[in-house]
Amino acid sequence: MKSKNKIYWFAGGIAVLTIFILTLPIWITQVDWIKKDYAATGPIGDTAGGFWGPGIGFIGAILTFVAFYVQYRANQQQREDIEQQRKDWQLERFESRFFELLRLHKENVAQMNLATGVIGRDCFYELYQEFKTLKILIDRAIQSEVQLGRHIDIDRMRLAYLIYYHGIGMELELPYFNELSSDERDIFIKLKHLTAEQKLAYKNGETNKLVYNFKYPPYEGHFGLLGVYYRHLYQTAKYITGFKHFPDDNNKYQFVGTLRDQISEFEQLMLYYNGTVLFPSDWKELFTEYRLIKNVPLDPFDTQSSPLNRYKDFMVVLWLTKKKRLFAGQKDIGEHVGRWIENNPEEFKKLKIHEYHEEYRALQKKKLVL
């Protein structure tokens, strides 16, 4: 703004000076109180012309430069205005597309129907209960093997989710059975008998034999119900993180936060299982950098499957550098932080510790000195 004012003052001064020079002959020849002896003033006029001519030419050159510079600045401002308009248009277009995707997500949830009275978001609570019963039945199958003297080492969460998502039965188990380890197959065979008993009890209305009082036939798979839902949710999230015209990355987090606000706690819970079992690398950035499952309930997890355990390194660094929680429900993580610092001393030295963490900043300085 100041540079523009200087240009205006300079241009104004040149204009005044030019007007004065151009009107000087009129003052000399027309004003009565100026003595007119043209025989004497002829040489003076020649001298004045020789004196003023280069000055006027120089002033003309300066005015030409100023005119070109003003035009240059105008063109530059026009380009900046056009670029800003382009960015505004891209952002408006993004927002329009984003809210359309958000609307489709809501429709996908609203159209879910597991049983009479179990529709929309309520489905995810029932789905979690089915998944939970599978973990219980897997524990029973493992316990029976342990009593026979066998040591079984399997990922219970992975096996439970594969059965929950695809179902259990001759055709339903085809997508995942060949991927099971030897121990998993042994447990799976026992699990087929246990789930068959649960299906029969549900069919006969024998609720006293059920691990959970199901509201729909269990263990028949949900890939048809959930496949489109998860694909659309993933594409919506990646549409946000892949947009390259935000002023800064905080805008990405804000839009991901808007998306997260539409996902209930049990939706986030089942999304965590889906993402970590079936597509761990695809969902990791969304779960950590953008905290898509920030509100996931942590109580249902055991130590092995807990997101606190899976993402503990990122959780600690996020807390140390930005004083932000990876999960809303996480409690004091001082023990995790201490263990991480002990195991990663060199990485700890390189961190820019948040000013709030005075004790960790002091510890970092101490380690740097040592």
Is 121 inside a domain boundary?
yes
86 and 20 part of one domain: yes
Number of domains in the chain: 3
Q: Where does the chain have alpha helices with state H?
A: 2-30, 38-110, 122-147, 156-166, 174-177, 182-203, 223-241, 249-260, 265-278, 280-288, 307-310, 312-322, 334-343, 345-350, 358-369
pLDDT for residue 223: 93
pLDDT for residue 46: 59
Is 100 inside a domain boundary?
no
64 and 149 part of one domain: no
Is 290 inside a domain boundary?
no
73 and 25 part of one domain: yes
Who wins on pLDDT, 35 or 309?
Answer: 309
Is 186 inside a domain boundary?
yes
Percent of the chain residues past pLDDT 70, beyond the cut: 84
pLDDT for residue 367: 73
- Domain end call among 163, 194, 209: 209
pLDDT for residue 248: 84
pLDDT for residue 300: 77
133 and 65 part of one domain: no
Mean pLDDT of 360-370: 79
- Domain end call among 189, 209, 229: 209
Is 244 inside a domain boundary?
no
Is 82 inside a domain boundary?
yes
- Confirm if 10 and 70 have CB atoms less than 8 A apart: no
Quote the CA–CA distance of 265 and 290 in Å, as a whole number.
Answer: 16
pTM given for the model: 0.78
pLDDT higher than 70, residue 292: yes
315 and 349 part of one domain: yes
126 and 203 part of one domain: yes
pLDDT digits (tens, 9 = 90+) for 180-200: 999 999 999 999 999 999 999
pLDDT higher than 60, residue 101: yes
64 and 121 part of one domain: no
Quote the CA–CA distance of 93 and 104 in Å, as a whole number.
Answer: 17
Mean pLDDT of 225-251: 93
Which amino acid appears at position 152 of this protein? I
Min mean pLDDT across 20-34, 217-231, 349-363 is at 20-34
pLDDT for residue 261: 95
Is 269 inside a domain boundary?
no
Is 336 inside a domain boundary?
yes
Residue with tokens 């199901």: 214
Q: How confident is the model at residue 68 (pLDDT cuts 50, 70, 90)?
A: confident
Q: Which residues span the domain enclosing 66? A: 2-31+38-90
- Confirm if 237 and 229 have CB atoms less than 8 A apart: no
Sign (positive or negative) of CA dihedral 272, 273, 275, 277: positive
- Domain end call among 148, 176, 209: 209
